Amino acid sequence: MTTTEASPTTPAATERSFPPGFVWGTATASYQVEGAVAEDGRTPSIWDTFSHTPGRVAGGDTGDVADDHYHRFREDIALMKRLGMASYRFSVAWPRITPQVSADALGPVNEAGLAFYSTLVDELIAAGIEPAVTLYHWDLPQALEDAGGWTARTTSERFAEYAEVVAAALGDRVRTFITLNEPWCSAYLGYASGVHAPGRTEPAAALAAVHHLNLAHGLGAAAVRRAAPGARVALTLNLAWVRTEGSRKADHDAVRRVDGLQNRVFLDPVLRGRYPADVLLDTASVTDWSFVREGDLALIHQPLDVLGVNYYSPTVVRAWDGSAPRAENDGHGDSAHSPWVGSTDVEFPELPGEKTAMGWSIDPRGMTELLLRIHREHPGLELLVTENGAAYDDVVVAGQVHDVERTRYLRDHLAAVLDAVEAGAPVRGYYLWSFLDNFEWGYGFSKRFGVVHVDYATQERTVKDSALWYASVVSRNAVPAVVG
């Protein structure tokens, strides 16, 4: 018997348990699932504008209706309950809360918008499901983009005021507030490569956005603490496990630079109160960073209760020597403009091996490496996996979806989380992306990440096999030990 085999007669050896109290959940985001974009006072976000601009989103899809979660949240929560989920991570749509916001003033609070989330929270709690709230998952009010968006400092200031409103309204029932989801995407995909809203392609603007998103996190964290002193404040980053298969000095330098742009430009100001010197140098030809004002880093460097980590796929880089067209398999969509500001001589080779329907390579080791790196560099910082999952081209056959590949992906990534936990990383929970198939940004409805299938014509929900498998993991607080 090899070490990876377990005897069928010893049940304990056939599964690996998570620590007691480990939180199991699923995640969604407002624009991806809610629909009801013109209801109860909501005004347009940058994603409404972007998705309604021809050529921006595959198939011309928009979030106008999406999963109609705004009207169907009760049945969705009932389904979560049936599957035994302990927590639900959702995001609040800023344009529902302060629909008249401008660069200068937050404007009046829209009680109907707040009431929607308050009811959602009540419904979750009644179902025994803990709400975890993301305050910003990319649906910036369009009026703020018209005033500069994340390139403008006023956006960070208004964000903090909005965060305070939401925390004051929900903080009596919500324990975890995540300020931002993946500021990397907001900044670089929104302002450099332009594959996300607002679709701008200005490298210097992307770095200004990085800073103002960091500032929004810091101001927002302080605002949440003022309004809800008992709450846990978190930030969710899509950190990358960056490596190279090259051996040249330039290949290792490419690793350092991409690590700087993706990981350290967020981690260092938030957790250490400084920008990494090498990133400032690498980007010196793009901007002088004069948008960083005195005192900003102290504002950004707030205590962080939990770091949310989103991990899907590994990042492999090498130096581009110009001898062949630059390989751009970074998994972040097609654009003539690189999101890798100041690092256009880095390339992202196509990797052999299995990929998901996004074309993303699968390597669960990255999950373990990432969690352990954060633990090493920031010991004591609690971690949550706030997203992980996979898109596949699912089909419903006789009311069932046999998504074997997704189940395998989840099983291997959960085992990888547990490897990190067993090596000491304080990972407190895992949120599967996503509960429902939904509007996958620039890919529209063409990519399905849900463990519950959605028929967009009828809004019918069909539980996929992976959801049933995940439910059994949740109920046992354990994953199967045998990999095969």
Instruction: Give 253 or 387: the residue with its C-beta nearer to ligand FCB.
Output: 387
Residue among 440, 450, 470, 471 that touches ligand FCB (CB under 6 A):
440
Q: Give the nearest distance from C-beta 363 to ligand FCB in angstroms.
A: 16
Total binding residues for ligand FCB by CB under 6 A?
Answer: 12
Q: Give the nearest distance from C-beta 441 to ligand FCB in angstroms.
A: 6
Exposure string of 260-296, with b = 16+ CB inside 10 Å and e = fewer, is: bbbbbbbbbbbbeeebbeebbebbeebbebebbeeeb
Q: Tokens 């492999």 sit at which residue?
A: 316
- Return d(Cα 221, Cα 214) in angstroms, integer: 11
Residue among 45, 156, 181, 302 that touches ligand FCB (CB under 6 A):
181
User: Contact letters (x/-) for ligand FCB, 14-53, by CB under 6 A?
Assistant: ---------------x--x---------------------
In the chain the first and final C-alpha atoms are separated, in Å, by: 14
Does position 387 bind ligand FCB by CB under 6 A? yes
Instruction: Give 289 or 456: the residue with its C-beta nearer to ligand FCB.
Output: 456
By DSSP bridging, strand 460-463 and strand 452-455 are antiparallel
Residue among 73, 162, 266, 449 that touches ligand FCB (CB under 6 A):
449
Does position 67 bind ligand FCB by CB under 6 A? no
Which are the catalytic amino acids?
182, 387
Q: Are 213 and 183 in contact (CB under 8 A)?
A: yes
- Return d(Cα 92, Cα 63) in angstroms, integer: 15
Q: Which residues contact 193 (CB under 8 A, 6 or more apart)?
A: 201, 332, 333, 335, 337, 338, 339
Q: Give the nearest distance from C-beta 280 to ligand FCB in angstroms.
A: 26
Contact segment (CB under 6 A) with ligand FCB among 177-185, 279-287, 338-346, 476-484 equals 177-185
Instruction: Give 223 or 240: the residue with its C-beta nearer to ligand FCB.
Output: 240
Instruction: Give 46 or 478: the residue with its C-beta nearer to ligand FCB.
Output: 46
Q: Give the nearest distance from C-beta 372 to ligand FCB in angstroms.
A: 22
Instruction: Give 214 or 238: the residue with its C-beta nearer to ligand FCB.
Output: 238
Q: Are 172 and 114 in contact (CB under 8 A)?
A: no
Identify the helix (H) or strand (E) that includes residue 319: strand 315-319
Nearest to 222 by CA among 161, 268, 269: 161
What is the gyration radius of the CA atoms in the chain, in angstroms? 21
- Return d(Cα 30, Cα 141) in angstroms, integer: 13
Residue type, 231: A
DSSP state at residue 44: -
Contact segment (CB under 6 A) with ligand FCB among 49-57, 179-187, 289-297, 404-412 equals 179-187
Instruction: Give 159 or 312: the residue with its C-beta nearer to ligand FCB.
Output: 312
The sign of the CA dihedral 415, 416, 419, 425 is negative
Instruction: Give 89 or 411: the residue with its C-beta nearer to ligand FCB.
Output: 89
Identify the helix (H) or strand (E) that includes residue 82: helix 69-82
Residue among 66, 185, 267, 319 that touches ligand FCB (CB under 6 A):
185
Does position 90 bind ligand FCB by CB under 6 A? no
DSSP string, 222-283: HHHHHH-TTPEEEEEE----EEES--SHHHHHHHHHHHIIIIIHHHHHHHHSS--HHHHHHT
- Return d(Cα 306, Cα 15) in angstroms, integer: 28
Does position 182 bind ligand FCB by CB under 6 A? yes
Instruction: Give 240 or 479: the residue with its C-beta nearer to ligand FCB.
Output: 240
Q: Give the nearest distance from C-beta 250 to ligand FCB in angstroms.
A: 29
Q: Give the nearest distance from C-beta 225 to ligand FCB in angstroms.
A: 24
Q: Half-sphere exposure (CA, 13 Å, Cβ side) for 50? A: 29
Q: Restricting to residues 305-364, name those near ligand FCB by CB under 6 A.
A: 310
Contact segment (CB under 6 A) with ligand FCB among 72-80, 178-186, 345-353, 363-371 equals 178-186
Q: Give the nearest distance from C-beta 236 to ligand FCB in angstroms.
A: 8
Contact segment (CB under 6 A) with ligand FCB among 181-189, 194-202, 270-278, 327-335 equals 181-189
Q: Restricting to residues 228-247, name those near ligand FCB by CB under 6 A.
A: 238
Nearest to 370 by CA among 240, 256, 181: 240
Q: Give the nearest distance from C-beta 251 to ligand FCB in angstroms.
A: 26
Contact segment (CB under 6 A) with ligand FCB among 210-218, 260-268, 294-302, 433-441 equals 433-441
Q: Give the nearest distance from C-beta 438 to ligand FCB in angstroms.
A: 8
Q: Residue 121 in 3-state DSSP?
A: helix
308 burial via Cβ count (<10 Å: 0-12, 13-18, 19+): buried
Does position 433 bind ligand FCB by CB under 6 A? yes
Q: What residue ranges bind ligand FCB (CB under 6 A)? A: 29, 32, 181-182, 185, 238, 310, 387, 433, 440-441, 449
